[in-house]
Amino acid sequence: MKKLLVLLSLISFQTAYSMEWAAADTTILSFSDNSLNKRVTVISTGNKEIDIPITFNLEKLLTELGLGKDETQNILNDIQNDKYRNDTLKVMSPSGQKLQIVGISPHQKFLEKMDDFEEALDEDNWESADNQNNHSPESSPKFFPRSDFGFYIGLNNYKNSSTTAPSQLSKLRPWSSRYLAFSFRKNATLSKSKNLDLAFSYGPEFAIYNLMFENSNGIVNQDGQVTFETLGYETKKSKLTVPYINLPLLLSLGTKKQGFKLSLGGYMGYRIGSHTKTKDTDGNKEKIRDGFNLNRFNYGLTSEIGKKGGLSFFFRYDLKPLFKSNQINAKDLQAYSFGIRL
């Protein structure tokens, strides 16, 4: 398509150039003069008829039109030396003919223009020009793909937003409380420029909170209240697992030159289950499925920063408390997660 546009532009240039001189009562003679080894164009205005065979020799043509020998020779010398390669010689003959002599004809100029553009028309050069951002914003490729898949891995914890601290037995192992998520994302480009794209990113994800308790502590649901307490046996593992189906909504900004991307937004979530799992020192395991007075719905804020085609760092903060508002020992615990997105 790019080659076609250039060819059409050059053809338009050729047509306009010829029409400029082709006025009424004008004779245009374009021929190759073997004695000059040049292609010459003579544009003549007037009614004097010209013998066509003479047009194959500029010297005879000028002589027939009445130019003197010295003047004719000067003209021939100038053309031979390419004086009028990019200019036009205007001559008034004794017979009243107005002559315009072009050292290289418009057709030859057109061919030379084609030679000048030959390298530019090469596909590799067009690609190189594109890589140098020599294209309009409309033709610029999008920074964000239409869809992508992401795998989140990080750490979980929670903080207490109230003045009443929960039980000390609720503390988590910071390096064992892991966050995992699988994201199926769509990106709708809102605006696009030479070096900056803005997109609206959305799509479902499956996320899991793994809250690993310290020592041999655990969580128990009794009489509608959640309590954190020491279990009656030594454990290698004691955790609360909470899975969600989330819908993140983000505004994503991408810089094409630096390959930098930033996403800010929020998410809504729906809890699809919860259970505790313990493993004692003898390898015995126990899993208890229960609601544990956890809130069914969740929402919060999220951010991501990274490089295009590489990993990103993320941070999430739940604005909705993890447990219901009527809880005493687990009051106003708000979970947060951070890590990397692959």
* DSSP secondary structure letters along 188-241: EEEEE-SSEEEEEEE--EEEEEEEEBSTTEEEEEETTEEEEEE-SS-EEEEEEE
Q: Which of 122-136, 221-235, 293-307 has the highest mean pLDDT?
A: 293-307
One domain for residues 104 and 163: no
One domain for residues 278 and 197: yes
Q: Give the integer Cα–Cα distance in Å for 328 and 126.
A: 68
In this prediction, residue 301 carries a pLDDT of: 97
Range in 203-212, 215-224, 289-298 with the lowest mean pLDDT: 215-224
pLDDT at 218 over 60: yes
pLDDT at 178 over 80: yes
142 domain residue, yes or no:
no
At residue 259 the predicted structure's pLDDT band, cuts being 50, 70 and 90, is confident
| Domain's final residue, options 131, 157, 190 | 131
In this prediction, residue 33 carries a pLDDT of: 67
In this prediction, residue 171 carries a pLDDT of: 84
One domain for residues 101 and 164: no
Structural domain count of the chain: 2
One domain for residues 77 and 8: yes
One domain for residues 236 and 272: yes
Mean pLDDT of the 116-134 span: 47
pLDDT tens-digit readout, 156-165? 999 886 555 5
In this prediction, residue 308 carries a pLDDT of: 86
E strand or H helix at 291, and its extent?
none
Q: Give the integer Cα–Cα distance in Å for 247 and 269.
A: 6
In this prediction, residue 6 carries a pLDDT of: 43
140 domain residue, yes or no:
no
137 domain residue, yes or no:
no
Asked whether the beta carbons of 162 and 217 are under 8 A apart, the reply is: no
One domain for residues 32 and 154: no
221 domain residue, yes or no:
yes
Range in 99-113, 208-222, 229-243, 292-306 with the lowest mean pLDDT: 99-113
One domain for residues 122 and 267: no
In eight-state DSSP terms, residue 110 is: H
In this prediction, residue 146 carries a pLDDT of: 86
One domain for residues 84 and 159: no
- Range(s) of the domain holding residue 302: 147-341
309 domain residue, yes or no:
yes
pLDDT at 5 over 50: no
One domain for residues 53 and 175: no
Per cent of the chain over pLDDT 90 is 30
In this prediction, residue 215 carries a pLDDT of: 81
Is 201 exposed, middle or buried, given 0-12, 13-18 or 19+ CB atoms closer than 10 A?
buried
One domain for residues 89 and 121: yes
In eight-state DSSP terms, residue 213 is: B
One domain for residues 189 and 336: yes
Q: Which of 12-26, 128-142, 160-174, 316-330 has the highest mean pLDDT?
A: 316-330
Tell me the CATH number at 327. Answer: 2.40.160
Q: Give the integer Cα–Cα distance in Å for 42 and 104.
A: 10
291 domain residue, yes or no:
yes
Q: Which residue has the higher pLDDT, 3 or 232?
A: 232
29 domain residue, yes or no:
yes
At residue 298 the predicted structure's pLDDT band, cuts being 50, 70 and 90, is very high
E strand or H helix at 109, and its extent?
helix 106-121
229 domain residue, yes or no:
yes
| Domain's final residue, options 66, 100, 131 | 131
| Domain's final residue, options 71, 103, 131 | 131
Average pLDDT, the chain: 77
One domain for residues 77 and 151: no
Can you list the positions of beta strands (E) in the chain?
26-33, 38-45, 88-92, 98-102, 147-160, 178-192, 196-202, 205-212, 217-222, 225-230, 235-255, 260-271, 275-280, 285-289, 297-307, 312-318, 333-341
